[in-house]
Structure 1
Amino acid sequence: MVGAMPVNLIPKFCNGTMDSHNGTEDSEIQVHIGSRVKCNDDFGTVKYIGEVHGYKGIWYGVEWDDPARGKHDGSVDDVQYFKASKPGAGSFIRPNKISPLKTCAEAIRKYYGDREVSHKHSYTNKTNFLNIFLNFIWIQLSQYDEVTRKIVDVNITNFDRLLEVCVHDQNISKAGEVASLCPNVRSLDVSRNLFCNWREVIQLSAQLPDLRELDVNKNRMAIDMPEETLAQLSINFANLEKLNISVCDYEWADILALSHLWPKLNEMIAAYNRIKTIIPPTVTLRTLTVLKLDGNPLASWYEVMNLGTMKNLKVLSLNDCQITEIRFNDNPDDKVDLFEKLEVLFLNRNRINDVSIVIGTFLIGVAM
């Protein structure tokens, strides 16, 4: 992409001394320390690759997102191979037990290509039926099979017509070559996949210059670049307006660091992360009008007040955040210069006993 920062300047995170290969028919993707993997319906992060004393062959030491899936903390027979961050969240599995990894390009070709092929089979079956039913006609209808095949082949290669792409839960860990496949995509859903850091997501966006909406929820991606580098890479998200970054196991500080990537963001969904405290954004998120933080353990309204300096914020969603009260200051008659443009506030399923206090607080406490 002209003007984009070369993605080879992005520091790598997933690197280990022992690599194991997990290939697909189109590419060979390495699994290494830090890689995200999936076994059945369980997601985890590879913490160790190598031999385990007393057991033959190579093993992956995995820390599972759900600790209930694990068996130990990374040790076997008093030997510590890795250290799980949560008690009992670790276990060892064989390399052939994990789901095959894919590139985003592979997933797009397979999913959208298969849809076209299914249309072809449906049409072909109908043609065969007509050929039998009308066998007294001299013209062989089977000739239409060839016509259909050509039409379908053209459709399969016309990925450049795709504007919205959803490859949710497809075991994607790499970007692949999407620029030559579907360069006109405006909305991309790669949620619940296996990206281990932001490098591959940046590579994806760098190949999609008109990307407006991005959904990366349920990906646990490490942040391994300084804010200065992230700011330089923001050119790869120059047109991004809406982002779903929910269920990524982030704190607010993580999101603030990443926000240097998104200079024109209008809407951000960061629900069900680990946000407990909030630092006022001063340099980034200036264009944000909609912010959804549902399901984060904020509890204290004083943390929420740190969002009040966002000059363009119009919609704030704080459902299921364990908030018990709303208070701007000790004197309810004093107005505060916060939430200047806020129009909509969602507070469903919190612990506020008196809703009238909420209404009164906003009528009196906020400068409008």
Structure 2
Amino acid sequence: MGSQYVGQRLSFESQLCTVRYIGEVKGTKGEWLGVEWDDPSRGKHSGEHNGTRYFECKAPGAGSFVRPNRPSDPPNSFLAGLREKYITNVEKSGVPKPIEFGKKIAQEVGFDKVAKKFAELDTLTNVLLDYMRIKTCDEDTEEIAATCANLQKLDLTCNLFEEVEEVVKLCISLPKLFSLSISGNRFTKYQIRDQYRHGLDRIKTLKADDLRSSWTELFELVNNFTNVTDLSIAVGDIKKLTPDITPKVSDLRIAGRLNSICLEEHAIDSLSGLADLQSLPSLRKLLLSYNKIKAVYSPAESKTVGKLCFPSVTYLDISHNEVNDWTFLDDMRIAFPNLEALRISHNPLYGTSDARTLTEESYQITVGRLGRLVTSLNYSVITPAERADAELFYISTIVKELSGKPAEQEIEILSRHTRWQELQTIHGEQTITRDLSGKSKDALASKLIEVEVCSTSKTVTKKFPRTVTIGKLSGLIGRLFGVNPLDIALYLIEDGIIDEGGGVRETLLADELRELDYYVTEAKIKLAVRDKSL
């Protein structure tokens, strides 16, 4: 078997793998290496053959058997990988050949400087060394420091490291390093000797995604870094991080410093499954996309007000999850009382469409249910006029629901609309008439104007709040008609004007800061959209 051993990282034709078994396989001759490929699609099984299991794969279906004498790609030290990437590869293919026109050679403007630039490794501040087969830190750490004197960001994604200590030795040899990515590596040894525990306090950003490590191993790894503020440990099988889990997130040395945590692509099914993160005092950003989150609380838990609270989080990403109930937004609003930005697209709540944006109705209901501190939804700013429009629409849906049900069901209905009292304070009290013909309908209608908007190509009828400004109205209409709001002008069209012999009067709505009800008092109006250049 030579130097091969279980846990060894190998590369075959640029495909990375870890040796999980060395020995015979029944029914065959000779010895084999049982390997788990980093890319599971390369595998043929999970470590079994003809009913006998020889090894376990952390990723199902990622295993194969290969012969020990199969040639493997040579591993690199850090400096060897760096020079291969930034010098050898540039010399081979990075600098274009001179362009020839007959017997004349075109001037190589800047081409010779490219190779020189990359040869000056001490000038590089950001280095990407993914898939460079790096396995060890060079013995001469002073040479690393001199060669990479200005290196600040280092990406070591998908290499052949087996020991975390090799990465640590490398980090403490780089005097200006503050950002590190070790994603896609497959460590088998997480222990670090005391002599190498110094110098990691420079690292502020750590990306350790898809390591196929247990939570205990991840904790041990991360706990070596004492000053990290932005941490990403995405892609894995974490189901929950609650105070009853050992070790706890709150026990990390950086627990008091963490500003951002990325836990994307795990198996978390409720926000309460992350209860231990509540105690992180500096946590502002929480990234949870591509999990299995359906609710704030798991089915076995009660929705006790104040039970779950992330007081410092201002940004939350729960896109691409399994949220399918509007009450999620109400529970989330209480759990994140200071939330300012939310990403929630691509959830069953909004249908099965792959569209990036929500429909207008679902957008308005979402904004209506969110607290007023949230000013950004799916990367778009919520303006005050949009919020008012959305809240009025949401109120109308509640009024309609209440009006269609017996009075004795009102308490149960309003329990699903926890902003009802707040919205009534903001927009006025709604009187519910069960036949839908009373004051509740009139009260809401009095705040809206039905606008027939006409252009040369189409006509759209829509209700807008009376308080919408002309500038905002131009933006909304521009979006409806697919035109740039800056290129259009709005004209109020009035028929049967006595002063004009019963004809039509057109009024340019020129003051963008004026509200719509400055120009009109009617409940229904007509606007014309015209090109400013005409």
TM-score by length of 2: 0.52
Matched, 1:43 2:16: yes
Report the equivalent of 1:14: none
Match of 2:302 among 330, 340, 354: 330
SS in 1 for 2:279: coil
CA distance in 2, matches of 1:241, 1:198: 18
Deviations 1:255-309 (A, max 9, x none): 2222221111111111111212313422423211111111100113332122111
**1:97 maps to amino acid:** P
Contact 1:215–1:243 (8 Å) recurs in 2: yes
Report the equivalent of 1:206: 172
* Aligned residue runs from structure 1 range 72-91, under 5 A: 73=47, 83-85=55-57, 89-91=63-65
Q: Looking at CA atoms only, which structure, 1 or 2, has the larger radius of gyration?
A: 2
Matched, 1:241 2:215: no
Contact 1:250–1:275 (8 Å) recurs in 2: no
Contact 1:336–1:367 (8 Å) recurs in 2: no
CA distance in 2, matches of 1:35, 1:270: 23
Contact 1:64–1:70 (8 Å) recurs in 2: no
Identity of aligned residues (%): 21
SS in 1 for 2:168: helix
Report the equivalent of 2:253: 284
List runs of 5+ in structure 2 lacking aligned partners.
242-247, 339-534
Contact 1:336–1:366 (8 Å) recurs in 2: no
Instruction: Give the aligned length.
Output: 319
Distance of aligned partners of 1:235 and 1:323 in 2 relative to their CA distance in 1, 3 Å threshold: same
SS in 1 for 2:306: coil
**2:314 maps to amino acid:** E
Deviation, structure 1 residue 67? 7.8
Match of 1:320 among 270, 290, 307: 290
Deviations 1:321-358 (A, max 9, x none): 101110397354x3247322100111112111124x23
**2:296 maps to amino acid:** I
Report the equivalent of 1:171: 133
Distance of aligned partners of 1:330 and 1:218 in 2 relative to their CA distance in 1, 3 Å threshold: same
Match of 2:268 among 280, 298, 307: 298
Matched, 1:62 2:35: yes
Contact 1:309–1:338 (8 Å) recurs in 2: no
Match of 1:274 among 229, 233, 237: 237
Contact 1:287–1:312 (8 Å) recurs in 2: yes
Deviation, structure 1 residue 51? 7.7
Deviations 1:185-225 (A, max 9, x none): 11111111111221221121121122111111111112442
Matched, 1:109 2:83: yes
Distance of aligned partners of 1:366 and 1:70 in 2 relative to their CA distance in 1, 3 Å threshold: closer
TM-score by length of 1: 0.73
**2:12 maps to amino acid:** C
CA distance in 2, matches of 1:186, 1:90: 39
CA distance in 2, matches of 1:51, 1:180: 48
SS in 2 for 1:345: strand
Distance of aligned partners of 1:259 and 1:232 in 2 relative to their CA distance in 1, 3 Å threshold: farther
CA distance in 1, matches of 2:303, 2:6: 54
**1:184 maps to amino acid:** N
Contact 1:74–1:91 (8 Å) recurs in 2: no
**2:264 maps to amino acid:** D
CA distance in 2, matches of 1:202, 1:64: 25
Distance of aligned partners of 1:152 and 1:46 in 2 relative to their CA distance in 1, 3 Å threshold: same
SS in 2 for 1:261: coil
Deviation, structure 1 residue 361? 1.9
Report the equivalent of 1:254: 217
